[in-house]
Amino acid sequence: MQLKQVIIAHKAGDSISKRWAEQCARQLEERNCNVLMGPTGSKDNPYPVFLASATQSIDLAIVFGGDGATLTAARHLSSDGIPILAVNAGGHLGFLTEPLETFIESEQVWDRLLDDRYAVQRRMMLQATVFEGIAPTWNQ
């Protein structure tokens, strides 16, 4: 995997996820990676700005938060095929995220990604629509 341009999103209002995001941004920038970083949450949606301001293709999105932050990233990035590395930092649930403890040696994570020593889990995403009002009648 190349790491020329990376998105890093951290849970809005959470100092732990922000601190990890800043540390990872520094590490990646030292490796000549362009980093786009911002908060994500109920009032913060950085993904349209990230996608509009990207100077080249985005190689990876790193999300520090919980499952909600991960699902938000997936909703906005899946159509572009951007892989997401989700780390549970500041989140309440962690079914879709890696535990923060496995990310402590983050420099080794970058080495593994650059050396193509990683696995991608493809996940299914459902889309649903809710209609309100009177149900249509069907001709029989």
Amino acid letter for position 103: F
Rounded distance between C-alpha atoms, residue 135 and residue 131, angstroms: 8
SS3 call for 68: helix
Rounded distance between C-alpha atoms, residue 73 and residue 62, angstroms: 9
Among candidate residues 14, 44, 59, 67, the one labeled active-site is 67
- State the residue for tokens 């890696």: 98
Rounded distance between C-alpha atoms, residue 76 and residue 95, angstroms: 19
| DSSP H or E stretch at residue 26 | helix 15-30
115 a catalytic residue: no
How many CB atoms sit inside 10 A of residue 51's CB? 16
Active site residues: 67
